[in-house]
Amino acid sequence: MPEVNASSAAPAARRSPLRIAIFGFGTVGSSVARILAESQPPQLKLTHIFNRGVARKKADWVGGDVVWSEDAEAVLASDADVIVELAGGLDPAGAWVRKALTAGKSVVTANKKLIAYYGVELERLAAANGGHLKYGAAVAGGIPVIPGIEQGLAGDSIERMEGILNGTCNFILSKMEEGADYAEVLKDAQAKGYAEADPTEDVGGFDARAKLSILMRLALRVEVDPEQIVPKAITDVAAIDFSYARDLGCTIRQIARADKTSGAVAASVGPTLVDLRSPLAWSRGTENMVVLSGKYGGDVVFSGHGAGGHPTAVAVVSDLLALAAGSRRVELPSAKAVIGSEMELPHYIRFLVYDRPGIVAEITLALAREQINIRAIVQKAGYPANALPFVVTVEPCKSSTLKRALEGIRCLDCMIAPPLDLQMLE
């Protein structure tokens, strides 16, 4: 009978819980603390909370042994095993994350901007010092799209992705679809905590751009500078556009899209006409949705709540529990790439004109010069001749080609406002 090693036969010693320090006790940070306080997972122990002006943040439902601090350096130098960075932005959050990783601590973050711009560098820093970096909450809030790509879809070759990545824009546009005014819905979103006082990151498309670049690295395996993606704001979309979209069997959503064809990479972010039969059209309120199209596995859809403290906190705590269980990120190889191609899609173009004879002919001629074919011309009755809106849809073409045509059209003496050009997702 073989000899049994006593140490290997004995039950494994119980691991000490991971000691957790939260940086940023705002909407998400307080939700993370709430989940830890209420569910009390034995693998995790909240030990520190850092926030500026921390006295005003203290909550009596947080454990009495938790250290509240305004000194970031002291918390970084403490015995915390994991830093949960929820302050957001590039600085000083980036400095805190780098110091934590250099010290051999692990980091869990929801900071999409930091990961979009410096994710590769930070992952290498974590690996070099024996720590781990997890950011499942950086894209789509509580929807497990990042773990889904890393673990569930790592064996596929993803060729295309499209999705609704910003809950604030989805809230605004879905309310406008019901007839609400943009300014009123924005105020409502700010009151509910979905939008910041300065909503530019959301409505301008910059938030979705950062998230898209993260997904491109994980799913398409390409590292792109987010600045290469030029987003289009939702602020020019008006009630009349939803009316025309319904006539075309569509609605309007902020869509982030990327694909890789024969090594060429294309990406876009902006308000887009979506067919009412598409799952993307069904997303309402703060919901997010991501559709990934694989060479072998076909389409996979992730959907759920993408904004708000609790959904995002669920992803953060899930990352913490994965660390406590010894889980490591699946390393997916990626290579630097430049966005060097354009998607060819149909376009919706809404004009506002002083009506006069010959307008349609002039528009048709300008489009024809760029070899762009008209698909349909739609005009609603009941509008005055001195402010007449009408829509032209065109067959698939490159945005740069259409832009050249519109540069000439916008100079026509009948144009009251620049034409609004939106891609149409088919």
pLDDT digits (tens, 9 = 90+) for 330-378: 788 899 999 988 999 999 999 999 999 999 999 999 999 999 999 999 9
The span from the CA of 378 to the CA of 357, in Å, is 16
pLDDT above 90: residue 306: no
pLDDT above 80: residue 405: yes
**Helix runs in 55-181, H state only:** 72-76, 93-102, 112-128, 145-147, 167-177
Per-residue pLDDT at 12:
40
Print the SS3 string covering 97-109.
Answer: HHHHHHCCCEEEE
The span from the CA of 24 to the CA of 3, in Å, is 54
DSSP-based three-state secondary structure for 264? strand
Find where tokens 């995002």 sit. Answer: 312
Q: What digits encode the pLDDT tens for the residues 13-69?
A: 446 999 999 999 999 999 999 999 999 999 999 999 999 999 999 999 998 899 999
Distance from the Cα of residue 100 to its chain's centroid: 25
Domains of the chain: 14-134 (3.40.50.720), 145-306+330-336 (3.30.360.10), 345-425 (3.30.70.260)
Per-residue pLDDT at 352:
97
Going by pLDDT thresholds of 50, 70 and 90, the confidence category of residue 148 is: very high
Two tokens at 202?
């959301």
Partnered with residue 68 across adjacent β-strands are 49
Average pLDDT, the chain: 93
More confident of the two residues 191 and 414: 414
pLDDT above 50: residue 185: yes
Going by pLDDT thresholds of 50, 70 and 90, the confidence category of residue 119 is: very high
Partnered with residue 288 across adjacent β-strands are 304
One-letter amino acid for residue 212 of the chain: L
Two tokens at 77?
């130098």
Q: Is 409 exposed, middle or buried (0-12, 13-18, 19+ CB in 10 A)?
A: buried
- Is 211 designated active site? yes
> Which residues are CB-neighbours of 28 under 8 A, at least 6 positions away?
86, 110, 137, 309, 312, 313, 316
The span from the CA of 256 to the CA of 176, in Å, is 19
> Which residues are CB-neighbours of 306 under 8 A, at least 6 positions away?
140, 141, 142, 143, 164, 165, 166, 167, 170, 286, 287, 288
Closest CA to 371 of 393, 392, 349, 402: 402
Per DSSP (E only), the strands in 306-408 are 335-336, 345-353, 374-379, 388-397
Give the mean pLDDT of 255-278. Answer: 95
pLDDT above 50: residue 10: no
Residue 209 contacts residue 243 (beta carbons within 8 Å): no
The reported pTM is 0.92
Catalytic residue among 211, 380, 398, 403: 211
**Torsional sign, CA 292, 294, 299, 300:** negative
> Which residues are CB-neighbours of 415 under 8 A, at least 6 positions away?
351, 352, 353, 409
The span from the CA of 45 to the CA of 42, in Å, is 7
pLDDT above 50: residue 2: no
Provide the percentage of residues in the chain whose pLDDT is more than 70.
96
Residue 158 contacts residue 300 (beta carbons within 8 Å): no
Find where tokens 């590292």 sit. Answer: 223
Q: What digits encode the pLDDT tens for the residues 220-253?
A: 999 999 999 999 999 999 999 999 999 999 999 9
Two tokens at 312?
């995002």
Per-residue pLDDT at 13:
40
